[in-house]
Amino acid sequence: MGKTSYMKLQGSHQLRQRLVLATLATTPILVEDIRSDDTSPGLRPYEVSLLRLIEKISDDCTVEINETGTKLRYKPGTLMGGRYLVHDCGLSRSIGYFLEPLILLGLFGKKPLSIRLKGITNDTKDPSADTFRTTTLHMLKRFGVPLEGLEMKIESRGAPPLGGGEVILGVPIVPSSLTATHWVDEGMVKSIRGVTFSTRVSPQIGNRMIYAARGVFNRFIPDVHIFTDHRSGPSGGRSPGYGVSLVAETTSGCLISTDIAVSYPRAEETNALEDSDEKPELLPPEDVGVQVASMLLEEIEQGGVVDSTHQGLLFLLCALCPPDVSKVRVGKLTPYGIETLRNIRDFLGVKFVIKPDPTTNTVILKCVGCGMKNLSRKVT
């Protein structure tokens, strides 16, 4: 075999996006200095788990990690997809961490993907499984992804630290490519929907959160419906926790989401702080409700067709379109969004034209897609 030239990258930041883009652009990458100055150097368990997951859905890809885990070589293979796959996401990051890259990889596979993911469904670091179901999947419609087969089901919930949740994700393949979108009309917020979750706590907590959140929205809009999803028994996972996921729908069909989750911290997090033995107090449900409602209002204030969490995915989808102009509007660019734009330039060679819209304090981005085609798909 001929020698492959690797694209050299440094550090563990943006590893997910880099892996996704490397796979889609079939660029082998060599990542160095992964937490090399850290007291516990190298890849984290969730990053290794993500690599395993990518191996699972693709054929002929190679992953090499050095002894300390500070260097990683990744040579992408062919994305296969497949049915009835199972992956244990571990407990160091929630399922949301894995869903974000997985959905992009699934779209460009040979066969539709259906996979059962086990782990934590709701936590603070990543978008929750609820947000993913209500908002993220709907974003794909704008880019011409077939609705059939695009689904997610939360079989059981799991809060940190012990998890125990399970979700089933189904992603269809794109027939040949995505379609470019012109998506700048934010519209006006017409309704607010949401769902609370509570596991291994009093079922009343859900209603207390709803009551508090509704109090905030009363000044704005009457059409507020938040459902409760209380799980007990095995479908409630192994740890107590509760939280809310909210979505604001606008007249132009944009979905602005936010979520929050409260649970007891993971063991490694408390050790670092050298806390006492007693369990820390959780944020009261009323405060959770007010906070999540305020967060949603802040997202609405920012403007844009997606919320701050989905900026990265939006830009990626735009860049993966056929060579056609896409135009989108977002609120203030987030650090993650900016990093995404840089990664897109490095891997796909797509540069966005970024213009602020001073009258609304939003940002308009335009780009010509890189012309990504689903090459793994079976040609008939």
Considering only residues 134 through 163, tell me which ones interact with another protein, judged by CB under 8 A. Answer: none
* Cα dihedral sign, 271-275-279-282: negative
Q: Does 219 engage in binding with another protein (CB under 8 A)?
A: yes
Q: Does 216 engage in binding with another protein (CB under 8 A)?
A: yes
Q: Does 313 engage in binding with another protein (CB under 8 A)?
A: yes
Q: What's the start-to-end Cα distance of the chain, in Å?
A: 30
Q: Which of residues 93-112 bind another protein (CB under 8 A)?
A: 97, 100
DSSP helix, strand, coil percent of the chain (3-state; round to 5): 30, 30, 40
- Considering only 189, 195, 246, 262, the residue that binds another protein (CB under 8 A) is 189
Q: Look up residue 372 and give its two tokens.
A: 């990504």
- The helix (run of H) or strand (run of E) holding residue 57 is helix 45-57
Within 8 A by CB and 6+ apart from 12, the residues are 31, 34, 35, 43, 44, 47
Q: Which of residues 24-63 bind another protein (CB under 8 A)?
A: 32-36, 38
Q: Does 186 engage in binding with another protein (CB under 8 A)?
A: yes
Give least dist CB 188 to another protein, A.
5
Q: Which of residues 118-137 bind another protein (CB under 8 A)?
A: 124-127
Nearer to another protein, 230 or 310 (CB): 310
Q: Does 378 engage in binding with another protein (CB under 8 A)?
A: no
Give least dist CB 323 to another protein, A.
16
- Considering only 12, 121, 199, 374, the residue that binds another protein (CB under 8 A) is 12
- The helix (run of H) or strand (run of E) holding residue 170 is strand 165-171
Q: Look up residue 214 and give its two tokens.
A: 């509704």
Nearer to another protein, 16 or 118 (CB): 16
Cα–Cα dist 221/172, whole Å: 36
Strand partners, 73: 30, 64
Nearer to another protein, 160 or 236 (CB): 160
Q: Which of residues 289-308 bind another protein (CB under 8 A)?
A: 291, 293-295, 297-298, 300-301, 303, 308
Residues 122, 197 contacting (CB under 8 angstroms): yes
Nearer to another protein, 17 or 58 (CB): 17
* Cα dihedral sign, 174-15-350-360: positive
